[in-house]
């Protein structure tokens, strides 16, 4: 039986977040200002007919169609917000569910590290795919469930604070977001991301 795990709509991709997505996907590259939708499904192979339903319903482009051991992930985007919404509606119709039948996102953990040590910064910079983490900055690491909501958290963080996106992982059981900046900006970003996820209705995980 298929399960809609995540349905995460982003109305307007922020510049830094869009650049991060564009640099890390294998499909069509989105740019700032586009609307975006992430859908996460279980079992993982269910993402293929979900993508088919979306792409045949509206003029949207896919950046990601990814399967791993447990879950499948789809990303679609367009400058036309209504097209992304129409594609999302086609997905929900195919599945026979409503948007609120997704799992409600949860912030599983959130850590803030001030005055990051140079050695820890170097460790993180070894695997980061976004901005370099500069020693002395403040770092926030968020872990979210389901994983697909990490992108929404990143976009909201950038929308509300002057931060650098260091790392976003939105596939697997948990998603992760690393942002850095001044302590005040990082705290603002963390709170904005947490509030955005908390505002989404869904099934209890």
- For residue 53, give the 3-state DSSP assignment: helix
Pairing of strands 164-169, 106-113: unpaired
Per the listing, tokens 């770092």 go with 139
Which among 85, 101, 117 is the end of a domain? Answer: 101
Phi, psi of 177 (to 5 degrees): -135, 130
Give the whole-angstrom CA distance, residue 120 versus residue 104. 33
Bigger pLDDT: 205 vs 65: 65
What is the mean predicted confidence (pLDDT) over 69-88?
A: 97
Whether 51 and 90 share a structural domain = yes
At 173 the pLDDT is 93
Phi, psi of 154 (to 5 degrees): -65, -45
User: What is the pLDDT confidence band of residue 205, given thresholds at 50, 70 and 90?
Assistant: confident
Q: What confidence category does residue 203 fall into, taking pLDDT thresholds of 50, 70 and 90?
A: very high
- Measure the N-to-C terminal CA separation of the chain; round to a whole number of Å: 17
Q: Does 155 lie in the same domain as 136?
A: yes
Q: Which pLDDT tens digit goes with each residue over 65-76?
A: 999 989 999 999
- Structural domain boundaries, residue 31: 3-101
Question: Is residue 118 domain-shared with residue 153, that is, in the same domain?
Answer: yes
What is the pLDDT, as a whole number, of residue 116? 98
User: Position of tokens 């099934």?
Assistant: 203
Say if CB 48 and CB 39 are below 8 A apart. Answer: no
């Amino acid at each position: 039986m298929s399960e809609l795990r995540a349905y995460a709509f982003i109305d307007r991709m922020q510049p830094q977040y869009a650049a991060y997505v564009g640099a890390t996907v294998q499909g069509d590259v989105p740019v700032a200002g586009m609307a975006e939708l992430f859908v996460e499904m279980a079992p993982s192979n269910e993402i293929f007919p979900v993508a088919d339903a979306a792409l045949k319903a509206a003029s949207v482009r896919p950046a990601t169609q990814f399967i791993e051991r447990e879950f499948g992930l789809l990303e679609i985007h367009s400058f036309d917000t209504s097209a992304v919404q129409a594609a999302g509606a086609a997905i929900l119709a195919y599945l026979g569910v409503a948007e609120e039948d997704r799992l409600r996102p949860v912030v599983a953990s959130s850590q803030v590290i001030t005055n990051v040590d140079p050695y820890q910064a170097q460790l993180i910079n070894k695997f980061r795919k976004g901005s370099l983490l500069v020693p002395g900055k403040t770092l926030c690491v968020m872990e979210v469930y389901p994983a697909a909501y990490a992108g929404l958290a990143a976009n909201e963080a950038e929308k509300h604070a002057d931060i650098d996106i260091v790392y976003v992982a939105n596939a697997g059981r948990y998603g992760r977001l690393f942002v850095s900046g001044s302590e005040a900006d990082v705290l603002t970003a963390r709170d904005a991301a947490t509030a955005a996820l908390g505002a989404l209705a869904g099934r209890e995980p």
